[in-house]
Chains A and B, each alone.
Chain A
C-alpha cells in the first residue's frame, strides 16, 4: 500500500525544501530526500523518473523530477512500502498523476495570491490519488489485461513473446533495445502476465536461464453490450427508446473497426477503477440519469464528470424516452478477451525449421500449449 507523497523543491538559496506532503504524518528525512535528488541529477539533471530504495526509512520511492532546467525544479516522491514497486500500478497512471501534480504546482507558482486554495486542492488531489493507487492493487483480471495493453513496457513484452519464447535475459535485452531505456526490475513488469496466467516460466535442460512461454493471448475491443441489446429487443425500458438505442448501436458498429489508437483509449478507461465500476453497472441494464447509483464519497460533480468522459469516448449514450426522461445506455461494452494462441504452433514449426528456435525449447513450448488447450 502506498504510504504517501512528498513534494520537494530545489532552491538556490536553501537547497532542497519540502513543499507539500500527504498525509501530514508521513516522516521526511532530508538526507533521504537528498539521496533521491542525487539519483536524479547524476542522470545529467534531466526531467525523468528514478526508483530508490531507502533502508533507513524502510521505503521504496518512485520519484519524478521536473529537471534542473525547469522554472522550479520539483521532485514528486511517491513513498511505497519496501517490496512495493511502481510498476504494479501500471506506467500510464503514475505519469498522469505526476503530470496533474506538476500542473497544480505551476498554478501555485503563477498565482501566489490564490496559493492557499490551490494548495488545498492539491492536497485533496494527493489524497484521491493515494486512494486510487490503493484500488489499483486490486484490479479484476480483465483490468489487469487492459493494464498490460496500456503500458508501453508490457505491450512490448507481449509483442516480443508473440514472436517466440525467450529467456529472461534475452527478453530484457530486446525490451531495452526496443524502448531505448534500461529496465530495472523485469519480474515486477511481468507480474500482470503471471497473474492473468498468460505466460509460463520454465526451465529447459541445458539452458542457463528461465524461459518465458506465452500460453494465452488477448484482444481489446468494443462490442455490443449483450444484455442491453437483449433488453432493447424486448422493448425495454420502453419500445420507442429501445428502438432508438438499437439504431444508435447499429450505426456505431457499422463504422467501427478495432484499432490500436482506440484500443489504447479503451484500455486506459478500463483500468480506472471508478469508471470501470460504472461500466460493470451499465452492463446489466440502462439507468435513468437521475437515478445512477453513487459510489462512496462521490459527489454529483464527480459522477457528471465520469459520465461526460464515458459519453465522449463512445462508451455510453444518453437517450430520452417519450416522457422526456433521460436514460443512460451502455453503447459499447469494452472488453479484454483472452484466447488460445494457436498461431504460435505454426510459428514454432517455422522457427524450428529455420533454425531460429532450439529443439528443446520448441518441444517445451508445444507441451505448454497442449496443456493450455486441455484446460
Chain B
C-alpha cells in the first residue's frame, strides 16, 4: 500500500502584500496631495505660494494672471457670445484693447 502525502507549499502572499502596500501608500500620497494642493484652484495655489515666499522674505517670479483690462475684455467677450454668428466671428466683436 502506497500512501502519498502531498506536501503543500504555503501560499506566497508577499506580492499581494507588496502590491497592497504600494497601493495604500500611493492612495495616501494621492489623497494628501489632493487635500493639501490639488483641491485648491490654481489662483489660490499661487496666492499660497506667494504668501509662503513673502513670509520667508524671499522674492518670487512674476505671477501670470489676467490684468485688469484683460479681465474686462474676457467678461465682454463672454457676454457678447449670444450675438455672434459664424459670419460675425471675424468682425469686431474681438475687442483687443478694451481699457478702463
Contacts and interface: CB of A to CB of B under 8 A. Distances in A.
Contacts of B79: 221, 223-224, 335, 337
A246 B83 CA distance: 8
B47 A250 contact: no
Interface in B34-68: 41, 43-44, 46-48, 50-51, 54-55, 57, 59-60, 62-68
Contacts of B57: 359
Contacts of B66: 342-343
Contacts of B46: 345
A77 to B, nearest CB: 37
Interface residues of B, number: 38
B63 A346 contact: yes
A1 B17 CA distance: 77
Interface string A224-257: 1010011000000000000000100110011101
Contacts of A362: 54
Interface string B76-89: 10011011010010
A291 to B, nearest CB: 26
B67 A343 contact: yes
A362 B51 CA distance: 8
A353 B59 contact: yes
A363 B41 CA distance: 19
Given A250-B88, A254-B92, A343 B54 contact: no
A229 B85 CA distance: 12
Contacts, number: 101
Interface stretch (A201-209, A311-319, A367-375): A367-375
A366 interface: yes
A362 B79 CA distance: 33
Contacts of B80: 223-224, 253
B99 A370 contact: no
Given A250-B88, A257-B95, A370-B48, A363 B82 contact: no
A352 interface: yes
Contact of B62 (A257, A339, A346, A370): A346
A61 interface: no
Contacts of B62: 346, 349-350
A230 B64 CA distance: 36
A249 B83 contact: yes
Contact of A217 (B64, B68, B76): B68
A339 to B, nearest CB: 6
Contacts of A353: 59-60
A162 interface: yes
A63 B59 CA distance: 53
Nearest to B67: A343
A260 interface: yes
Interface string A341-365: 1110110111011000001001100
A219 interface: yes
Interface in A247-302: 249-250, 253-255, 257-260
B75 A337 contact: yes
Contacts of B95: 257-258
B58 to A, nearest CB: 10
A285 B77 CA distance: 23
B50 A348 contact: yes
A257 B98 contact: yes
Given A258-B76, A337-B75, A343-B65, A230 B41 contact: no
Interface of B: 41, 43-44, 46-48, 50-51, 54-55, 57, 59-60, 62-68, 71-72, 75-76, 79-80, 82-83, 85, 88, 91-93, 95, 97-100
Interface of A: 162, 217, 219, 221, 223-224, 226, 229-230, 246, 249-250, 253-255, 257-260, 335, 337, 339-343, 345-346, 348-350, 352-353, 359, 362-363, 366-367, 369-370, 373-374
Given A224-B79, A363-B54, 20 more contacts: A162-B68, A219-B71, A219-B72, A221-B76, A223-B79, A258-B72, A258-B98, A259-B99, A337-B79, A339-B75, A342-B66, A343-B67, A345-B50, A346-B63, A346-B64, A349-B62, A353-B60, A366-B54, A367-B51, A373-B43
CB-CB nearest 5 A-B residue pairs: A223-B79, A342-B65, A224-B83, A366-B51, A219-B72
12 contacts: A219-B75, A224-B80, A249-B83, A254-B91, A257-B95, A258-B98, A343-B65, A349-B60, A359-B57, A366-B51, A373-B43, A373-B47
